[in-house]
Chain A
Amino acid sequence: MSSALSTDQYREQIWAELAKVARPDSRFHWDFSSFICDFIGSEKCSDRVLELDALKNRGNRQVFITPDNCLEDLRYKLIQRGIPFVMTTYGIVRGFYRLDPSTIPASDHRYAATLDGFDRYGVSMPLVELQKGEKFALLVTGGSAVSNNGVRFGKGHGYFDFEWAVLSELGLTDSSSVVADVVHDCQFVNEVMPAEKHDVVVDWVVTPTQVMHIDQSSRQSGRVFWELVPGTEFEQLSIVAELRAIQNLGPL
């Protein structure tokens, strides 16, 4: 791409390409504005994520995964390997859940990796519970689009930014926490994009054909910018009230 397009133009271009490789959602069909889609080749992405040092050398540290469809196969493979993970429900509406593979019979591994099946095996984690756990070694998200300096943009990126911010406020991330973004090649934009203060820039971009490392050693620790919350989809989330209670902030 010779000249930078606007984010709207990128989105249009990307959605047109994505439609050729995307898998429809069971509820939202092909409406990319409502969900982060799975795509042909996502299995290759999960194999690459499994090879990341952040996962292999995580020790006691935790793994976080977003409820994006392109990460279903990764969730399945984590369950098969007995690796527990933390996930949010769609739209963070019901907050954070933890899935412990030891509670799932082998026949239900694939089932538990879907959003429908996750509802039967995931255990709700109120923030006060979550806070007692280890810090996160690896956080994996999907997304609409990502630039070559690790800035995610387009529909949906705000959810992960917010999850990162909340986990950081709880003291569950630090400078060794690694963020990986799983996207199709057509969602990678070879441009430098400016990051806003609440954007989480990612350390790894993982596509079906390549793994790119982006140096984010200067990434600031995440925080919730409360002044940005009113009027957004996050305002009414139960975790907002929970976090504010933990921080003695009173109602928003």
Chain B
Amino acid sequence: MATRETSARQTEIDLASDAPLYEQVRDRLSQMVLARELSDSTPLPTEPNLMELFGVSRGTLRRAIEELVRDGLLSAEQGRGTFVVQEERVRRVVWQRLSEVARPDSRFDLDLSQYVPDFAGANLAHKRVMKRAEWKNADVVFCAPDNSIELLRLAALESGKKILVPTYGLRRGFIFLDGAKIQKTDHALAATLDGMERFGKRLGPADLRQAGTIDLVVTGATAVTTDGRHIGGGQRYLALEWMMMKQLGVLSPIALVFAVVHDCQVVDEMVEAEPDCLLDLICTNTDEIDVWQPRDSAPTKLRRIK
């Protein structure tokens, strides 16, 4: 095994390095996935090919791949081979880009795997949302607990709207806040995760109907695709919340879904993912992308937003 490992031809694998060989292979493989040097749609090259590519033993290669599977970037499918998890690849690429513009969270700092960050220029994206008729006409707005829309939640409260906000990780259900019933001086605090539970009513899934009919859904995202997919932090909370609202019949049939993201979070590719909550409009710091697509439940002309 030692002789095979010392025959490394790839310059990326540094035999003199202190880092264990499998870690170097893991990191190099991960880089290749993010750079799209490996295809999403076909399995990874065969073990012998990869062993030759990296100049390492089967054991080293397997350990590297196992780590990436555990990490969620690769998935090993029995009998078919090992595949890149496209959604996770997109997430990682966007996290790298976001590090330039993301604002730290009060608890998670810049650990973007734990939260959706606020970003430089978010106010410009908010303005695009606020000038839409759907926003102006909405009485009840579902707002994700994402940092990037904290100030949009504030704007909603200030204009007397009602907002329904899930608690972080849905740990304590949803919070229902009525801007008209909260004192103006408390609006800023009520728009934060730290403050909202002091001013709103906690609703469990069974009480969601008390929120009335939701006219509009506004969310941040880890990434969005130009075909209207929302990619969250990995735990699919928005999909879960969407499902609950839909099943309980609290979503207006013409409720649209707006996403607020930084330009660098928009990914121009088709991502194969479970169809959870499809987006209708993406508002960024510089642009507005209409990604409207017909959905079975709603009359087409009502769904069109332009």
- Contact surface of A with B, Cβ cutoff 8 Å: 24-29, 35, 89-91, 93-94, 106-108, 110-111, 114-119
Contacts and interface: CB of A to CB of B under 8 A. Distances in A.
Given A26-B193, A94-B109, A117 B171 contact: no
Nearest to B171: A29
A117 B172 contact: no
A24 B172 contact: yes
Given A24-B172, A107-B185, A114 B107 contact: no
Interface string B116-159: 00000000000000000000000000000000001000000000
B172 A89 contact: no
Nearest to A34: B107
Nearest to B192: A116
Given A25-B107, A27-B169, A94-B104, 10 more contacts: A26-B168, A26-B194, A26-B197, A89-B106, A93-B104, A106-B185, A115-B106, A117-B195, A118-B106, A119-B103
A172 to B, nearest CB: 24
A111 B172 contact: no
Q: Quick one: which of A27, A35, A89, A93 has the most chain B CB within 10 A? A: A27
Interface of B: 103-109, 115, 150, 167-169, 171-172, 184-186, 188-189, 192-195, 197
A107 B186 CA distance: 7
8 contacts: A24-B171, A27-B105, A89-B106, A91-B109, A111-B189, A111-B195, A115-B194, A117-B195
B94 to A, nearest CB: 21
- Nearest 7 A/B pairs, CB to CB: A115-B106, A114-B194, A26-B193, A116-B192, A107-B185, A116-B194, A111-B189
A19 B103 CA distance: 32
B195 A116 contact: yes
Contact of B194 (A94, A106, A117): A117
Contacts of A94: 104, 109
A116 B196 CA distance: 11
Q: Quick one: which of A91, A116, A117, A118 has the most chain B CB within 10 A? A: A116
Given A90-B106, A117-B194, A119-B106, A110 B186 contact: yes
Given A90-B107, A94-B109, A110-B186, A27 B192 contact: no
Contacts of B107: 25-28, 35, 90, 115
B194 A119 contact: no
A111 B109 contact: no
B169 A29 contact: yes
Given A26-B197, A27-B193, A119-B106, A111 B188 contact: yes
Nearest to B118: A119
Contacts of B168: 26-27, 29
Nearest to B183: A107
Contacts of B192: 26, 111, 114, 116-117
Nearest to B169: A29
B108 A107 contact: no
A231 to B, nearest CB: 17
Contacts of A93: 104, 109
Given A24-B172, A26-B168, A111-B195, A117 B189 contact: yes
A162 to B, nearest CB: 17
